[in-house]
Amino acid sequence: KPKAAYTVPLRRMLAHHKSIAVQEVLLASPRIVKDLAAIRSFMALEPHSCIAALTRADDPQGAYRVLETQARHFAGKLGLSPAADTDVWSVFPPECPDAVALYQSIKSFSDHDLEAFQTLLTALSFGQKDCEHFDTRDSLFNTIAQDLIIAMRTHWQPDRSFFEKRSRDQLLVVAKDCGFSEGRSCL
């Protein structure tokens, strides 16, 4: 068995010194750091469960479409294209991304595109932690939603799938809240 020219401890020491040198120079290279942050965010991206759930919905509505459009835009810029019969989430993020190819694509982004890409990645991974329960506490999610002054009626309208999950009594309460009087036959 041929003996390695450099021992493992020596290779480790050289790698440590090379790494710390690159780290030092990165401190003076904010654009490359932003590119690197975007690559790392993209490779570690775990979209919130709302993405998968609404992908399967009959009508995911407007907010979903905005995010999907943005993801499709950046998938194209990164050279990722889903098969014709699949959605963009099959490639965004890719299963086994090539970090060097991603870097080559991302470093060509304008500053505006890079910021929009990083914003998209952060937004896609953020959402209510426990979707099985109503979140009414002072969570980070609710605090951010309040700071953004989210008005749900501008982003979502109750649809058939929502009403099908309601009991008759709950539907009567909704109808009354919407102005239908109890004596009306159409109620």
Using a cut of 0.75, tell me whether the model's pTM lies above it: yes
**Position 76, amino acid:** G
Side-chain half-sphere exposure of 142, counting CA atoms within 13 A: 8
Three-state secondary structure readout of 7-70: CHHHHHHHHHHHHHHHHHHHCCCHHHHHHHHHHHHHHCCCCCHHHHHHHCCCCCCHHHHHHHHH
Q: Under a CB-based contact definition with an 8 Å cutoff, are residues 114 and 37 in contact?
A: no
Q: Residue 31's Cα: distance from chain center in Å?
A: 22
- Average pLDDT per run of 10 along the chain, which is 187 residues long? 87 96 97 97 96 90 93 94 87 92 96 98 95 87 93 86 87 83 63
